């Protein structure tokens, strides 16, 4: 059974991931989570195993890294991402 066969939602896929584990994963794909191209490299690596779910999984990894989903949006500068992700942080468990 492949991972995508029982994956329904991206947050479930990233359960247990930490900022540190996302950084470590980034090293395996050659892009840091805060570096331009991380999302595309992640999707490329995971799409064979996860199919269409790779995009949600990779977005959730970046959410985990930043502690917020506010990094999303095309054409954002690093400065804008830093400012936006300081708002609406996920609650610590």
Q: Is 58 domain-assigned?
A: yes
Q: Is 27 domain-assigned?
A: yes
When divided into structural domains, the chain yields a total of: 1
Can you give the C-alpha Rg of the chain in angstroms? 13
- DSSP for residue 90: P
Q: Is 87 domain-assigned?
A: no
pTM attached to this predicted model:
0.78
Q: Is 40 domain-assigned?
A: yes
Name the least confident of 15-19, 20-24, 25-29: 15-19
Q: Is 77 domain-assigned?
A: no
pLDDT, tens digit, for every residue of 28-84? 999 999 999 999 999 999 999 999 899 999 999 999 999 888 888 888 999 999 999
CA separation for the pair 75, 77 (Å, rounded): 6
Determine the structural domain holding residue 26 and report its residue range: 21-65
């Amino acid at each position: 059974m492949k991972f995508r066969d029982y994956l329904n939602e991206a947050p479930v896929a990233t359960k247990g991931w930490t900022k540190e584990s996302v950084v470590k994963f980034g090293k395996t794909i050659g892009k840091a989570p805060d570096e331009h191209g991380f999302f595309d490299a992640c999707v490329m690596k995971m799409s064979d195993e996860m199919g269409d779910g790779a995009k949600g999984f990779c977005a959730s990894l970046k959410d985990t890294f930043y502690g917020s989903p506010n990094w999303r949006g095309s054409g954002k500068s690093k400065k804008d991402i830093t400012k936006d992700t300081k708002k609406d942080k996920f609650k610590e468990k």
